[in-house]
A and B are shown apart, each in its own frame.
Chain A
Amino acid sequence: EVQLVESGGGVARPGGSLRLSCAASGFTFDDYGMSWVRQAPGKGLEWVSGINWNGGSIGYADYVKGRFTISRDNAKNSLYLHMNSLRVEDTALYHCARNPTGAYYYDMDVWGKGTTVTVSS
């Protein structure tokens, strides 16, 4: 079964850090680009970052650029999001998602259920 399972969410103080992980199974991980998408409570979906199949092409939304870092370990079938300088407005459910090709600039055909990040003082 194709599956994505996120972990690493929790509560952080403003200015703090968290590292999210996404474990992939049921498909050949290094054939696909991957993305992080978040959803604040009561709000719509918001693209955060994407990475191509080998990590050679990466993109970020302006509101996380310079604070968040996406990476992947193909040997471990895992995707990561390092989140620094967290802000209250980063509070959201964070989903990892598979792009249907090796690039990340596409739609997203497989999604995880998400991990919750709460930034509060």
Chain B
Amino acid sequence: EIVLTQSPGTLSLSPGERATLSCRASQSVSSSYLAWYQQKPGQAPRLLIYGASSRATGIPGRFSGSGSGTDFTLTISRLEPEDFAVYSCQQYGDSPITFGQGTRLEIK
């Protein structure tokens, strides 16, 4: 099983700043089958990025994904107030599908 480790556990930033979230896999994720989700309290997860770097429908351009192999990054270029949430990565290149434990992005 591929274990995904996200860092940091909590990231405290201010609106307008740049956020960089990391997702590291215990072994290589085949074909960059990695996705990122945003989840706010009481809401369902929302797909942001799939295939490591492709934005999902309707996702603003300030969200971008990069990486390959075992190291992946979600970048939010300029934080908006609505971006403060929990972010999780998921790999779907190997059985079983696994998620990271999440990074909480909080307002500083």
**Chain A residue with minimal CB distance to B88?**
A45
A108 within 8 Å of B by Cβ? Answer: yes
- A113 proximity list for chain B (CB < 8 A): 43-44
B97 touches A50 (CB 8 A): yes
- In Å, the complex CA distance between A1 and B99 comes to 27
- Checking B33, B45, B56, B90 against A95 with a beta-carbon cut-off of 8 angstroms, the contacting residue is B45
Contacts of B60 in A (CB 8 A): none
**Cβ A95 vs Cβ B44 within 8 A:** yes
Contacts of B39 in A (CB 8 A): 45
Question: Which residues of B, 16-38, contact A by the 8 Å Cβ criterion?
Answer: 33, 35, 37
Query: In the assembled complex, how far is the CB of residue A69 from the closest CB belonging to chain B, in whole angstroms?
Result: 16
Contact surface of B with A, Cβ cutoff 8 Å: 33, 35, 37, 39, 43-47, 50-51, 56-57, 88, 90, 92, 95-102
* Contacts beyond the supplied A37-B45, A44-B102, A45-B102: 16 A-B pairs with Cβ under 8 Å: A37-B99, A43-B101, A44-B99, A44-B100, A45-B88, A45-B99, A47-B97, A47-B98, A50-B97, A59-B96, A100-B50, A105-B97, A108-B37, A109-B50, A109-B57, A111-B44
Pairs across A and B, CB under 8 Å, 20 listed: A35-B97, A37-B45, A43-B101, A44-B100, A44-B101, A44-B102, A45-B37, A47-B97, A47-B98, A59-B96, A95-B45, A105-B92, A106-B33, A106-B92, A107-B51, A108-B37, A108-B90, A111-B44, A111-B45, A114-B44
